[in-house]
Amino acid sequence: MIRRNLLLAAAAATVAIGAVPAIARAQGLDPKLADYKQVGGVSGSLKSIGSDTLNNLMTLWAEGFRQRYPNVQIEIEGKGSSTAPPALIGGTAQFGPMSRPMKGQEVDTFEKKFGYKPFAVRAAVDALAVYVHKDNPIRCLTLQQVDAIFSKTRRGGNAGDIATWGQVGLTGEWANKPMSLYGRNSASGTYGYFKEVALFNGDYKDSVKEQPGSSTVVQGVASDKFGIGYSGIGYKTADVRAVPLAAKPGETCFEATAENAYAGDFPIARFLYVYMNKNPNQPLDPVRGEFVRFMLSKQGQEATVKDGYFPMTSEIAVEDLEALGLAPGS
């Protein structure tokens, strides 16, 4: 049975995607995903406010949807996951993409106003990657080392602070070079998720250069030979490398691949969500319903792969569509 939430592996202090069925162990589509079938009577306007990580993917979905429904107007704003809950609560957006689950307080505020909880559509899978410059020879990092690199509190238990590349085993010109740290700002769900999982809920170092978007983190690392930063796998470029990660010292390091994300082996894999205000006692309006159906169709998940993320399985798609009262493939 697929679980709606990510499973917290407390012993490793990592979050894994539990019980996701195999897709062919590659970044490919589940052949059982339904083809999207266009319907009549769909019009109106939609606005999405939320995650920067999902900004490009929401745009691709919007473009594909408008090709089928040119009378639908869609506006996408991606300034960070923390902007999604207030937008949904205030009614200024129909969709709230988030790269992390809503916090308890956010859910409580929503439920206090509407009398029911927000609905989370699982839209894609991401391997939250730790990036270095393409010429950096580092082969593996543990989460404890990542914590000691980015956090001043070191709750992961590493014996000491890590500030130079020599402290993680690099030699030659790298040995004494200080690490240059790049990260997201506090409005970002990626910032919060990385803090929770990779920093064991510790505090970031003051030296982390906070960036306004995922792409600027990657650009920063790409232009800084001694840089290191974190961002979604969908933002990977040829100028950076995603470092293989291990959950604990002595354990296997896993690449940030679809196979390892689905299996839960890559230690900071996560679902990406699109939240909605869905009254459980009322049917979903046609324009939102068809947009979600498109997102979770074969064509919608082709866009997920195009954007560099990993697609949903048909089992997850059917489960979320049925929970919304949408018959898949009809």
Distance of alpha carbon 8 from alpha carbon 170, whole angstroms: 32
User: From CA 200, how far away is CA 8, in angstroms rounded?
Assistant: 12
Task: Give the range among 11-15, 38-42, 179-183 with minimum mean pLDDT.
Answer: 11-15
Distance CA 196, CA 100 (A): 10
Q: Can you read off the two tokens belonging to residue 170? A: 């690099």
Interhelix angle for 55-68 vs 286-295, to 10°? 120
Amino acid identity at 34: A
pLDDT tens column, 244-298: 999 999 999 999 999 999 889 999 999 999 999 999 999 999 999 999 999 999 9
Domains of the chain plus CATH, in order, are 7-19+29-126+270-323 (3.40.190.10), 128-266 (3.40.190.10)
d(CA 97, CA 85): 9
Beta bridge partners of 272: 124
Task: Quote the pLDDT of residue 27.
Answer: 55
| Residue 258 phi, psi dihedral angles, 5° rounding | -60, -45
Angle between helices 286-295 and 314-323 (to 10 degrees): 170
| CA dist., res. 200 & res. 210, Å (int) | 19
pLDDT by residue (tens digit) across 86-142? 999 999 999 999 999 999 999 999 999 999 999 999 999 999 999 999 999 999 999
Instruction: List the structure tokens of 164.
Output: 């130079």
The arithmetic mean of pLDDT across residues 225-239, rounded, is: 97
**Confidence bin at 323 (pLDDT 50/70/90):** very high
- State pLDDT tens for residues 79-91: 999 999 999 999 9
What pLDDT, on the 0 to 100 scale, is given for residue 320? Answer: 96
